[in-house]
A and B are shown apart, each in its own frame.
Chain A
Amino acid sequence: MIEFRAITKSFGGVRVLRDVSFAAAAGRTLGLVGENGAGKSTLMNILGGNLRPDAGEMRIHGRPYAPRHPRDATRQGIAFVHQELNLFPNLSIAENLLLVDLPRWPWTPLIRRGALARRTRELLAQVGLARSPATPVERLSAGERQLVEIAKALGREAWLLILDEPTSSLGMREAERLFAVLDRLRAAGMATIYISHALGDVLRLCDDVVVLRDGEVAGAGPRGEFSQERMIALMVGRSLSHVFPVRARRAREAPSSAGPATPAPASPPALEARRVSVPGVVRDISFSLAHGEVVGVAGVMGAGRSELARILFGLVPCDRGEILLDGRPVHRHAPRRRIRQGLAFLTENRREEGLCMEAAIADNIALVSLRRHARGPLRLLDAETLRGAVGAVREAVRLSPAAHDLQPVKTLSGGNQQKVVLAKWLLAEPGVLILDEPTRGIDVGAKSEIYQLIHGLAAQGAGVLFISSELEELLGLCDRILVMRRGEIGAAFRREEFDRERILAAALGEMRSAGV
């Protein structure tokens, strides 16, 4: 069995795990549930040797276990089946299963193909997958790949299996098939930690349940003590992080008490989506966003929130439906034209899409707005006005004064990097701002400054679409919250209807009478 004893972990002063203790025993399946950001991934990264705890210890069969590297976990018989699978699609099932110790003829580098196939068939039989060992993995369905991943774990003689959202990419029948395999493995003595947002599956499959909230164990016990309602209540609870949005909310209420926050109803909405669909991604999305409004988008991972943002911005072509900016249809495809129409998009993927990490702070901030400062037939830049504009927006986002304009952004902290991205878009003076997880991975101070910026923008009449996995900040910041589930808007809540449990239930899909 594996025991977690008082595991504590902080990132840059933010406590993500605090005194987490529980145990997973052989022959039992433990369901680990919690909101996004509750600390599940961090805990599993500690178990897998990717991170080290600040305090506390883990024990395997009573002996201390302190992995320094992922291979330590593998050696100890711990196997992870991740959401994004670690298989080589171009190689066969057999090669994937036994890649690290392919059977060889003695004293030669040559593979014993017969032995390889035999061993593979044994492993595949254990997970009930009737496929030839020579089949390339790319020809398998998502569910079959998951079974291969489990077979790989069996091949390494793992006794502890960790599954992270295993059903998110599976259909019903494939999920059932997976559950049957997991039941069989449990009967054979496997210990399993099953992480999922699908609470029904957790109740169906698990012997024990541990609920994490804000890095602490909010509840733990055998399955009999839990219902879906109780799990949701424990997941939501009272949050440590409620301090900062409250301050932001006050800032929001100031302008609305002075007069109507939204312009006269005659003016078209800042952003409107009409029955936007992209097959397999989002379906039938309709909503509107007024000037001066902050609309949140909630949902679990894979619900299609980021995909919606990318469609609105034009990074993913919109198959069906209409997107309107200020009542005018947006340009198709190229984000370039939509930016000129006043749209801005802060990506969740800062490293790959948000910033040129090697380039200077000032160059990054200026990038979107360069065109406005180009003069003459050669489009030479007016360095003077450009520098002035960059300086002003730097100040507006309160970028660390210690950071020099010509310093590469990679030298900044996460919070300051995010401020650079925000500055980049603020400089373009957008009418509509789409923010995808703008506060992920940044410290509390920077978060609260970003909240205030968002409110400042809304007060100046911009429409803000705010995607976040942290329900707290949505509740604290937004005028309305849209809840997405499986590519659709499943429910919508106005500020006065905000209810943590109902929103979470709508996101998880457990509530039948979701108000729209």
Chain B
Amino acid sequence: MAAVADSHRRARTPLLRVLRSEYFVLLLSAAYCAACAPFTPDFATGGNIANVLATLLPLFVAALGQTVVLITGGIDLSAMSIVALASIAGAAVMSGEQGLLAGSPSAVPAALLAMALVGAAAGALNGVAIACLRLPPFIVTLTSMMFFSGLAIALTQSRNIGALPAAFNALGGSTWLTLAIAIVAGAGVHVMLARSLWGRWLYAVGHNPRVARVSGVPVPGVVIGAYVASGVLAAAASVLYTGQAESGSPVLAQRLLLDIICATVIGGASLFGGRGGVLGTLFGALFLKLIDNSLNLMGRSHFSIMMVKGAVILGAAVLDMARSRLEEK
């Protein structure tokens, strides 16, 4: 018995079983690759795959947090602002130029801790506002997105903080280290979602918070936990993005919010809660990044990539709808 019961329902035929599982998106990605490969000769090279991974992995880590929140039926629009806030917080601790612990051997661990704490605190703020003040998640995280983002820019006066220790930059810069971090984060979230008490409560709250409450689930605690997890995972993504950029930036990854939400939703999480999982989110992020990458290789402009991406995501949503109708029968 798995918590992600929706994806494990017994299917009448093997075809249906694949169609209704998260592997559907993987299948879609594979089909897309097969279709693109003839037109883009650079697509299947080792260098390009490393390229895809470099953008995919941080996105995946950030989308993990979004997955957790979407399962409760909420949304975290402030995720990328938390990434930026954590980025400058970490940089402020460890930067070789004006960092608090510049040059100290404990600079990197201290910076990582600071980033995690900033993420957790920002998430807790969101969670408390949503669970205890009963405000809609959309409004809370929309305003906190503005607040965190503004705070990050105000604190740095819109300047990047450079001269980060090389050990830190490797976390986001080296594909292998990044991969390791993403695997640990993904596995951790998967275990918590599928196997832990909290994970099961998360799905219950997402399905129906009233039923959960009547059944003795500590709903506010579960919800706050989800937003704290989202904040911490945003901080983890921030480590990767900051390492990649080799500087703390108050506007880091600001454009990626919609990518994250798209990846999560394509991966099978429902905006109405109760559905979603790590594997699906991974495939969703992969699908999105493949589109990005292939269009890039074809030499399209940023704007035409946006247009195509929008169309493809809409198409995926239509397919998903058709798939759930199939399921109803």
Contacts and interface: CB of A to CB of B under 8 A. Distances in A.
Nearest to B200: A370
Contacts of A373: 197
B274 A359 contact: yes
Given A378-B196, A386-B1, A407-B10, A359 B204 contact: yes
Nearest to B188: A378
A475 interface: no
Interface stretch (A70-78, A154-162, A347-355, A441-449): A347-355
Interface stretch (A200-208, A250-258, A332-340): A332-340
B84 interface: no
B198 A379 contact: yes
B208 interface: yes
Contacts of B10: 404, 406-407
A366 B217 CA distance: 12
A301 B105 CA distance: 73
Contacts of B6: 358-360, 408
A336 B204 contact: no
Contact of B195 (A315, A352, A353, A381): A381
Taking each of A383, A386, A406, which has the highest tally of chain B beta carbons within 10 Å of its own beta carbon?
A406
Interface residues of A, number: 41
Contacts of A355: 208, 211
Interface in A353-393: 353-360, 362-363, 366-368, 370-371, 373-374, 378-381, 383, 386-387, 390
Contacts of B208: 352, 355-357
Contacts of B13: none
B192 A378 contact: yes
Interface residues of B, number: 30
A194 interface: no
A3 interface: no
Given A340-B216, A387-B1, A353 B197 contact: no
A451 interface: no
A366 B211 contact: no
Contacts of A356: 204, 207-208, 211-212, 274
Given A354-B211, A356-B208, A406-B5, A381 B216 contact: no
Contact of B274 (A358, A387, A390): A358
B326 to A, nearest CB: 15
B240 to A, nearest CB: 24
Interface string A454-497: 00000000000000000000000000000000000000000000
Interface of A: 313, 315, 334-336, 339-340, 345, 347, 352-360, 362-363, 366-368, 370-371, 373-374, 378-381, 383, 386-387, 390, 404-408, 424
Interface pairs A-B: 6 shortest CB-CB: A360-B5, A356-B207, A339-B216, A374-B197, A379-B197, A336-B216
Interface of B: 1-3, 5-6, 8-10, 191-192, 195-198, 200-201, 203-204, 207-208, 210-218, 274
